[in-house]
Structure 1
Amino acid sequence: MHVRNPYAHNPPDFRALAESYSKLAKFLHDDMTVDFTDPEAVCALTEALLHKDFDIDVELLPDRLCPRVANRLNYILWLQDLLDSDSFDSNDTNSSKPIWGLDIGTGTSCIYPLLGCRLRRNWHFIATDVDDVAVSTAAKLVSRNNLMEQISVFKADPGNSLFGPHACGDSHTSQHLHFTMCNPPFYSSSADYNASQALKVTPARSFTSAAPEEMITPGGEVAFVTRMINESIEMLRNDVNTGSTWYTSMLGKLDSLKDVVNSLRKRGISNYAVAEFIQGQFTRRWAVAWRFDGRRPLPDITRPLDPLPSTAIRGLLPPATGWILDLSHTHGANDDRLLDKVLSIMKDEFGDFMKLERLSKLNCETTHYITGYSQQGNVWSRNFRRNKKRKIEEHSDHVEGSRISESTGFGFRIFVEQYTSNTDIPQCSVHWSYGSDPIVFESFCGMLKDRIQRIVSK
């Protein structure tokens, strides 16, 4: 589960749930368990969890897909992480600035918009579906929870783009989405679904009741997300502002994740993220996200340490956006002015070409760091210095780096921590916050290591 998922270390207390939500009581056995093969019992449990833990009032249809709360919550929390990477330099990630998301295929439960808006007051959703029952039921749940100002439900036209446009009044248009999300049907056909069930060694421990359109889509989830990739590229061609949108999807099969990541890589999309959600002992889900602008997510999203990605997905991870320099064997590492010294030496050498600031982020302990950005990219390279010295960078079409474009921009954050939370090792860590070329980031880390070693050796 996601590290912030409240159910990760505190499984639901069925007795307490039944006391707070009487509808669940009749499905509770003497040993305080629930029969997960009973669709009505599963719906009652989901309703109880949403009611008690999130103040969400729903009545689910037993013949439609019943969302598992903890699993859906994993996805929402991961989306929060992606968006908070963009607002890292702000001390208030739950500010009043509106955040707009699109939930593609919201289903009868409208689970993602309801959870998202309960957890973040500034989140707003456009929720779409191609099914009339899903649209009408989702709209009723939005009204039932008094979230009409934050969630708009629309019926989507299968012939249009998955991303709109949608009639959202004057408050919003689909061209300014901060993120999109979906949980597409896993299977490509009834035969595909039956074959998947036949491969299971043991019977399913929970019953999944669903309409055919909730389980099956032409080509399966890979075809659906591939369509998302293609349409997101087309949107970028028509409007460069869509490059900042996080396009995301949940996936039900590991092989699907492999296919989707390969598709992103083939299209030259290196700014992506993957996640693995482990639910209990038997259920696993995966998520993938991508965007086109240069802003890079935090290192613990691209290469998480808690929990560590399984061996199965390590080869699918995106380029690292973090780097750590161990300072335990260097003189002067315990100097609490090391961050200021790093800032000073960088300003001396690169101040003409970089915007450099020292900032503070308020959390459980105030975090101080350097933030920097160079529109001209790799300004520490020998080639750049050579071109600068010869004063020909603006006059020659044949000298590398002579034509500067926004795509060459490079941004970073530098932290100097005396001790980590788990060890007594002082360290310097770097977050690659903006850019398109992982090799430039590696070069920057090498340059920074050299400068720090000069400082601490004095």
Structure 2
Amino acid sequence: MHKNNRHKQGYNFANLIKANPALSAFIIKNKFNGQDTIDFSDPLAVKALNYSLLKSDYNITFWDIPNGYLCPAIPGRVDYIHHLHELLANTTRTLPSEVSANIPANKPITVLDIGTGASCIYPILGQREYGWHFVASDIDPVSIKIAKQIISSDKSLSKNINCRLQSNSNNIFNGIIASDEFYHLTVCNPPFHRSLTEASQGTTRKLKNLNKDKLNSTYVKSAKTAASPPEKILNFGGQKAELWCPGGELAFISNMINESKVYQKQVLWFTCLVSKKDHLSKLKLTLKKAHAKQIKVINMAQGHKISRFIAWSFYQVN
């Protein structure tokens, strides 16, 4: 993890339970080392852990998302934020005049989150860690509604985070970035899968990796009514727009790159997570064809998991 990640030493469950006593109901013993943990294949346990972390470490007193919506792991998400801060810090020390001319004097760091989800996790973490201002966009009206509820519960968040609904699912930046706006960064956790079937298969693999015993018979019922059809568990949740899109991750990021050309003078660094390393070569080629002047791949590590994001700029910033 990044050196500034406050979760790099693991979870302090004693402190987390103090912040959120309800978490204690989900604590189990790791059968290999006897230490406290949770069942990461249980979506309710993951949700309780997330709220505990946000309350204990980020002073977020209200955070709740509906069942079935993406419940992101906090340590990995804040790692992205810390690496973005480092990227920006290394850039803004020596900004060329053409960049400085586009940034209003004393303008706070402003970030655009593409596909913020109901959790609104990147704006929350970026605001708490570095005081950044955010525009949080999504194509799902329910996600925007829930994100607004979370933000409105906190004075600092409501002052610094603005939610916007993307009304056209074919657009990414168009309809969100106004003509008079400038962003230092864009962030995005893109839909990875190419179809609902592929997303379901990915969930099955994830559950197997989490040593879920009766995989085929494990279901969770809707909280609204016991008569509702059972839904196969998604431990970290996820709606259609959060998990898949036509063409999957590669197509989504390629579209993002092509659309970014229109806003090349209004954004210092465009960035996006890339789940599949094999996609990098094609994305770099697309960026070169788009005449991006700077292309970077930043690797991140959380335990044994390696993740990365790609960053590009149409400014000669370094």
Answer whether TM exceeds 0.5 for this pair: yes
Alignment of 1:22-33 (within 5 A): 22-29=21-28, 31-33=35-37
Q: Once the two structures are superposed, what CA deviation does each residue of 1:79-124 show, in whole Å capped at 9, x if it has no partner?
A: 111221233269xxxx964111111110000000011111122x21
1:205, CA displacement in angstroms?
5.6
2:272 is equivalent to residue 249 of structure 1: yes
The one-letter code of the counterpart of 1:70 is P
Alignment of 1:73-92 (within 5 A): 73-88=78-93
Partner of 2:237: 209
Q: Which runs of 5+ in 2 are unaligned?
A: 30-34, 96-104, 213-234
- In 2, the alpha carbon distance for the partners of 1:199 and 1:35 equals 16
Of residues 102-111 and 253-262 in structure 1, the stretch that sits farther from structure 2 once superposed is 253-262
Partner of 1:109: 119
Partner of 1:70: 75
Partner of 2:150: 141
Match of 2:286 among 263, 267, 274: 263
Partner of 1:293: 315
Match of 2:303 among 272, 276, 280: 280
Distance 1:198-1:43 versus aligned 2 partners, 3 A rule? closer
TM-score (norm 1): 0.57
Does the CA-based 8 Å contact 2:41-2:207 persist in structure 1?
no
- In 2, the alpha carbon distance for the partners of 1:174 and 1:277 equals 33
Partner of 1:190: 196
The one-letter code of the counterpart of 2:186 is T
- In 2, the alpha carbon distance for the partners of 1:164 and 1:267 equals 17
2:39 is equivalent to residue 35 of structure 1: yes
- In 1, the alpha carbon distance for the partners of 2:282 and 2:119 equals 29
Does the CA-based 8 Å contact 1:129-1:156 persist in structure 2?
yes
Distance 1:145-1:174 versus aligned 2 partners, 3 A rule? farther
2:17 is equivalent to residue 18 of structure 1: yes
Distance 1:142-1:86 versus aligned 2 partners, 3 A rule? same
Structure number with bigger Rg: 1
Partner of 2:186: 180
Instruction: Name the Cα RMSD after superposition.
Output: 2.6
Alignment of 1:30-429 (within 5 A): 31-57=35-61, 58-88=63-93, 97-121=107-131, 123-146=132-155, 147-158=157-168, 161-166=171-176, 175-194=181-200, 196=202, 202-204=208-210, 207-236=235-264, 241-242=265-266, 245-281=268-304, 283-296=305-318
Does the CA-based 8 Å contact 2:186-2:271 persist in structure 1?
yes
- In structure 2, the residue corresponding to 1:5 is in which secondary structure? coil
- In structure 1, the residue corresponding to 2:209 is in which secondary structure? coil
Does the CA-based 8 Å contact 2:65-2:146 persist in structure 1?
no
- In 2, the alpha carbon distance for the partners of 1:89 and 1:293 equals 12
1:258, CA displacement in angstroms?
3.2
- In 1, the alpha carbon distance for the partners of 2:177 and 2:93 equals 32
Distance 1:59-1:159 versus aligned 2 partners, 3 A rule? closer
* Aligned-residue identity in percent: 33
Does the CA-based 8 Å contact 1:252-1:284 persist in structure 2?
no
2:5 is equivalent to residue 5 of structure 1: yes
- In 1, the alpha carbon distance for the partners of 2:10 and 2:291 equals 42
Number of positions where the alignment pairs a residue of Structure 1 with one of Structure 2: 280
Partner of 2:231: none
The one-letter code of the counterpart of 1:120 is Y
Distance 1:194-1:40 versus aligned 2 partners, 3 A rule? closer
Deviating runs (4+, > 6 A) in structure 1? 198-201
Does the CA-based 8 Å contact 1:257-1:286 persist in structure 2?
no
